Amino acid sequence: MSILKNISSPKDIKKLSYSDLDNLADELRNKILDTVSNNGGHLASNLGIVETTIGIHRVFDAPTDQIVFDVGHQSYAHKLLTGRQNEFNTLRQWKGISGFTNREESIYDPFGAGHCGTSISAALGLASANHLDGNENYVIAIVGDGAFTNGMIYEALNNCTKNHLKLIIILNDNEMSISTNVGGLSRYLTKIRISQKYFNLKYKTQSFFEKIPLVGGGLVSGTRKIKNHVKNVIVIENFFEHLGIDYLGPVDGTDIKKIETVLNEAKNKNECCLVHVQTIKGKGYQPAEDNPENYHSVGAFDLEKGVDDKKKDRNFSSVFGEILCQEAEENQSICAITAAMTGGTGLNGFRAKYPERFYDVGIAEEHAVTFCAGLSVNQKTPVCAIYSTFIQRVYDQLIHDVAIQKLPMVMALDRCGLVPGDGITHQGIYDCTYLTSIPGIEIFSPETYDEMSQAFQYGFKSKSLVVIRYPKGSELRYDRSHYISCGELSYCDFSPDNYDAVIITYGRITKNVHDAIELIKDKVHVRLVKLVKVYPLDFEKIFSVIECAKMVYILEEGIKSGGIGEKLACEFAQDDRMQSKKVVIRAIENPLMEQGDLTSLYACYGFLPEQIAAEIYDVYQTGTNLN
């Protein structure tokens, strides 16, 4: 008989026996495995934190007690225990539930997160507000050890020393972030894990004394008086306690009873406390335990066969890795830098071939960029590979540490444009709007692998900050033989007659525009102009290929406000030669989209070929101006 089916809220697990809880943990893992193998998602971290999640919901009273997950991609068991199991099969699907915590989805998600390092700051704010209101409820921040490579965590810890805050920080230590953890903190946690023998002794001693009738409680109280001395002898000096934060652990995060014991002890403290739990990433599914990095984030896969990493299709990320390895063979100054995304950014090959020139800095994007600036000063050629969604964090470093100092650097911007599955927090649609404000920057957005290679060759030789942005996935195939190249742009005509409408676009969405024109080419004489370099724009060259048009339609897989389309339209509006031309922009105006597959996201914003074709034809026929 299923236990999980009878769980509608966390209250339902408080009355279960430990035997039933173990069975519930197995059911949760099976549900997570079945769903992620069908839908894709974050797997290894969620399998590892099941028992810890059960323990948290047994000890605390959510949603009155507020639980904040760092990143939120380890919250699947939490979702299943908080009334969302009937919708769990829609995980990461269009109109389904998010793969991260989401305030709009449930009252059990007090704070949403898709980026790393935010949890303790948010939880501290929640706990401080509770304290101001005289509220005795607890706030629990669940933070993976990988997040402790992010500087924001330490900024928050530095402010957690105020007395009487009901704030408990749970350090989920699985020895992994996305790629294997790196740096001094990883080595420190390795040392501190040795002290688990002390915590096991303490747990067994306390359990033994508590079972003694009448005097057991007094014996427990008495042993606490010598605890600190014993702890100082057995355990290395503790970093967190030096910050003024009580530390408990490490404790086995796969043992529900031990988790409950340490969390109840943390509750009894009248100040901020950190509980160090050790979990096993991928627990319960052997392929994920053996290779957790491959199972951090996965697409749909066969549970029996597992993820076959060797059969991955060639894609923009892997091609980037190939380009970099080839260049590094000839150019000894090339260095590759990433922020805990070695595999995701295609740098596994570079790491293996040139380990001395490879730097994984952990989840520390700001440090990564300024580190690159230092490399650049001393005549190295830094190539920093980061996802578009995370480049939002380094705007200051790009301006202050790179652009103002006129230092050459290449940014390989992965996952640009709309990104399927991960939802609103991971969209790569903002970068063009704010990066174009950086002095001296050059931005390329190739549609093909060849264009990508040419852009990187330019970047390697450039004396400025060069950004090369590309989408998740593979190059889209269609006949490009009729394109005429004009350097940083190319164009093609779909009619032997002279064109009277022009569509300007760039990047992956070009194929959809091409397919749209095929649908209406007998009705409208269209020229397609594809930009490769999207900033700064050569307006004279662009004007030379659109001068005969009566209508200019600009389509951009990015934010409309401040985007490339608006920059073009603004320039056109100031040019007397463009006054008789109608200019229409199709771009993303309301970026608060749900998660879903790429086709659903495209349909939401009018980016499907049939939608594009219908709009172009309507504007052309009726003279409707959407601006």
H or E element: which one contains 586?
Answer: strand 582-588
Question: If you ran DSSP here, which 8-state letter would residue 403 be given?
Answer: I
Q: What is the pTM of this model?
A: 0.87
Mean pLDDT for the stretch of residues 126-155: 94
Cβ-based burial of 550 (10 A; exposed 0-12, middle 13-18, buried ≥19): middle
Q: What is the mean pLDDT of the chain?
A: 90
| CA 75 – CA 129 distance, rounded (Å) | 24
Q: How many residues in the chain? A: 627
pLDDT band at 574 (very low <50, low <70, confident <90, very high): very high
501: three-class secondary structure by DSSP:
strand
Mean pLDDT for the stretch of residues 266-273: 91
Mean pLDDT for the stretch of residues 444-471: 98
- Out of 58, 202, 393, 530, pick the active-site residue: 393
Mean pLDDT for the stretch of residues 202-208: 55
- 247 forms beta bridges with 274
Please report the pLDDT score of residue 258 as a whole number: 96
| CA 560 – CA 598 distance, rounded (Å) | 19
626: three-class secondary structure by DSSP:
coil
Please report the pLDDT score of residue 313 as a whole number: 83
Q: Which residue has the tokens 């005549």?
A: 379
| CA 502 – CA 69 distance, rounded (Å) | 48
- Give the DSSP letter string of 263-298: HHHHHHSSS-EEEEEE--TTTT-HHHHH-GGGGSEE
Mean pLDDT for the stretch of residues 137-146: 94
* Beta-carbon-side half-sphere exposure of residue 593 (alpha carbons within 13 Å): 30
Mean pLDDT for the stretch of residues 187-193: 54
The answer to whether residue 234 scores a pLDDT higher than 90 is no
Question: If you ran DSSP here, which 8-state letter would residue 75 be given?
Answer: -
| CA 69 – CA 60 distance, rounded (Å) | 15
The answer to whether residue 407 scores a pLDDT higher than 90 is yes
- 334 forms beta bridges with 381
E strands in 7-87: 41-42, 66-69
159 or 623: which leads in pLDDT: 159
The answer to whether residue 571 scores a pLDDT higher than 50 is yes
pLDDT band at 236 (very low <50, low <70, confident <90, very high): very low
pLDDT band at 591 (very low <50, low <70, confident <90, very high): confident
571 or 498: which leads in pLDDT: 571
The answer to whether residue 341 scores a pLDDT higher than 50 is yes
Positive or negative, the CA dihedral 46, 49, 50, 54 is negative
Cβ 158 vs Cβ 109: under 8 Å = no
Please report the pLDDT score of residue 235 as a whole number: 47
Please report the pLDDT score of residue 445 as a whole number: 98
Q: How many CB atoms lie within 10 A of CB 119?
A: 28
Q: pLDDT per residue over 373-387, tens digit each?
A: 999 999 999 999 999
The answer to whether residue 441 scores a pLDDT higher than 70 is yes
- Out of 58, 202, 281, 351, pick the active-site residue: 281
Residue 603 dihedral angles phi and psi, to the nearest 5°: -60, -35
172: three-class secondary structure by DSSP:
strand
249: three-class secondary structure by DSSP:
strand
| CA 501 – CA 524 distance, rounded (Å) | 7
pLDDT band at 175 (very low <50, low <70, confident <90, very high): confident
186 or 366: which leads in pLDDT: 366
619 or 227: which leads in pLDDT: 619
To the query of whether residue 155 is one of the catalytic residues in this protein, the response is: no
- Out of 365, 488, 556, 557, pick the active-site residue: 365
76: three-class secondary structure by DSSP:
helix
Cβ 572 vs Cβ 552: under 8 Å = yes
Positive or negative, the CA dihedral 592, 598, 604, 605 is positive
| CA 450 – CA 453 distance, rounded (Å) | 5
To the query of whether residue 281 is one of the catalytic residues in this protein, the response is: yes
Please report the pLDDT score of residue 164 as a whole number: 83
SS3 content of the chain, % helix, strand, coil (to 5): 45, 15, 40
Q: How many CB atoms lie within 10 A of CB 613?
A: 22
Q: pLDDT per residue over 499-543, tens digit each?
A: 999 999 999 999 999 999 999 999 999 999 999 999 999 999 999
Mean pLDDT for the stretch of residues 150-158: 94
Percent residues over pLDDT 70 in the chain: 89
Q: Which two tokens stand for residue 407?
A: 């230092």
| CA 170 – CA 154 distance, rounded (Å) | 15
End-to-end CA, the chain: 60
pLDDT band at 456 (very low <50, low <70, confident <90, very high): very high
The answer to whether residue 624 scores a pLDDT higher than 50 is no
Q: Are strands 381-387 and 501-506 parallel, antiparallel or unpaired?
A: unpaired
| CA 189 – CA 559 distance, rounded (Å) | 41
The answer to whether residue 203 scores a pLDDT higher than 60 is no
- With a CB cutoff of 8 Å and minimum separation 6, the contacts of 582 are 550, 551, 552, 619, 623, 625
Mean pLDDT for the stretch of residues 559-576: 95
Q: How many CB atoms lie within 10 A of CB 38?
A: 14
pLDDT band at 594 (very low <50, low <70, confident <90, very high): confident
- Give the DSSP letter string of 561-626: TTSHHHHHHHHHHT-GGGTTSEEEEEEES---PPP--HHHHHHHTT-SHHHHHHHHHHHHHH----
To the query of whether residue 566 is one of the catalytic residues in this protein, the response is: no
pLDDT band at 182 (very low <50, low <70, confident <90, very high): low
6 or 71: which leads in pLDDT: 6
Percent residues over pLDDT 90 in the chain: 78
433: three-class secondary structure by DSSP:
helix
Please report the pLDDT score of residue 580 as a whole number: 83
Q: Taking Cα atoms as reference points, which of 472, 460, 444 lies closest to residue 532? A: 444
